[in-house]
Structure formats: structure tokens, C-alpha cells
Chains A and B, each alone.
Chain A
Amino acid sequence: MKLYTCLKPDAIIVDCKATNTESLLKELIHHLKMNNRISDEDYIYKKLMEREKMGSTSVGNHSAVPHARIKDIKDVIVAVGLSRNGIIYSEIDKEVSHFFVLILAPNSSPIVHLQVLAAAATLIKKPGKWLSELLECQHPSDVIHVIQNYEEDDE
């Protein structure tokens, strides 16, 4: 699975304003709500924060993959946030993070959840300038193109 195939322009924020983990998650969820991708913002925020409290989803390379299993959604929802200033996502590693892949997976499909996580990890692990290219994007569709270009390098 490729990450770009899971992305829609209405689930991408190219210039997040948030300054910490809580406000970043709220900003991404609110964006999904405004685009009618989700219904219950508060429930989803609560599930994501519960997960962060069990252990940060910061994965290194200036990236984090906040995620939760959510009842009542049919298909996996993936959102991407880019923060030009970056935020300290994890108090443990204190690394400034710029790239966030939010994954909301239905309770019923642990395998799809793993595949999206794997696709995100494969991109994040790449050497090279993918992150600086993403941070230069002005439009959500540009983000999808940059990710697609890097993912197709694998083939």
C-alpha cells in the first residue's frame, strides 16, 4: 500500500498553526470535521489523546503518526499535517516535528491500520529531501504529488 493512495486534498493541512500536540490534533480533527470526513470531533480527540498518553506516537525523523481505532467509521481515514515552525510533539525525545500522519482506523480492520502505518514509516524512513519538499508545498494536491514521487521511487 502507498500512502498517497489514502490521501485526499481535503484531509491535508499544508501550514498547521498549532504549537503543541493537543492543538495540533484538534486542528487536524477540526479540519476533517469541516470537510465532513468525520462526525464526532470530541470522541476522536479523546481517543487520540488516550493513545498519546500510553506512549507518544512520535517516530523520529521529525515525524509523528497519531492514530486511534474508531468505532462507526467504515474506511480508514488518513490526514496529513505539515508544520513549518514545527512543534515539540513528544516531551520525551524533545525533537521538533514537522510532519504528521493522522490515522483513524475502523475497529474491524487491524491489517489496514498496519498497512497505512507501514506506508507512512516507509516514507518517513527515507533519506533525502522529502520533508523539505513537503514543507514548501502551498496546496494540498502538491503534498500528494510529492509523496507519490517519493513512494514511486521504490519501484
Chain B
Amino acid sequence: MIKETIEITNKLGLHARASAKLSHLANSFQSDIYLVYHGDRVNAKSLLGILTLAASVGNPITIETDGKDEKEALNQIVNIFQSKFDEES
């Protein structure tokens, strides 16, 4: 298992559309992928799970990936956060 902690930088946080993009991306990997936010740990492949976090801008979130494609999964999940889910130019 590998993990990385980043800060949420998109101003709306993990709202519904960003969460849908994130769960869609997570589902494209074989690895198990979890998000840890303020002590809550959820499956990143579950849209409802992500939404329960109410994860907002300026807060740290940890991405854990575990499986054959864990490196690629971690890279791409970190990237989608850093690209602010393509919602801010």
C-alpha cells in the first residue's frame, strides 16, 4: 500500500460533480483506493462514500492505493485533485 497526503485546493471542495469524477477515475483501477479525511476513511470507488466526507478547500486529504496498479492510481488521483477537477480556470 502506498499513500500521499495533499491539500484540497478547488474552492468548492468535494461537491457532487467533483466526487463523481473522482469515483469514476478510481473505478478505472484494479487497486483498492481509500480516502482519509479528518479521521474518516472511505472507499474512493463509492460516490456516496466520498460525499459523506464533506471535504472542503484548504484541508488535507490522504489517498491510499493498494494493488497491482497502485502507483498509477495514486498518481492519477493526486493529479485530478491538483487539476482542481478541471472546474476552475
A-side residues, CB < 8 A to B, are 54-55, 57, 59-61, 65, 67, 110-111, 113-115, 117-118, 120-122, 124-125
When distances are taken between beta carbons in the complex, the residues of chain B under 8 Å from A55 are: 17, 20
B17 A60 Cβ-Cβ under 8 A: no
When distances are taken between beta carbons in the complex, the residues of chain B under 8 Å from A120 are: 51
Tell which of A54, A59, A110 touches B51, judged by Cβ atoms closer than 8 Å.
A59
Q: How many residues of chain B get a CB closer than 8 Å to chain A's CBs? A: 19
Classify the interface of chain A: helix, strand, loop or mixed: helix
Tell which of A61, A110, A114 touches B48, judged by Cβ atoms closer than 8 Å.
A61
B-side residues, CB < 8 A to A, are 11-17, 20, 46-49, 51-57
A-B pair count, CB < 8 Å, reads 51
A125 B49 Cβ-Cβ under 8 A: yes
Residue of A nearest to B50 (CB): A121
B89: shortest Cβ distance to chain A, in Å?
A: 16
A64: shortest Cβ distance to chain B, in Å?
A: 10
A125 B52 Cβ-Cβ under 8 A: yes
A114 B15 Cβ-Cβ under 8 A: yes
Known interface pairs A110-B15, A111-B56. Does A118 touch B51 (Cβ–Cβ under 8 Å)? yes
When distances are taken between beta carbons in the complex, the residues of chain B under 8 Å from A110 are: 11-13, 15, 56-57
A115 B54 Cβ-Cβ under 8 A: yes
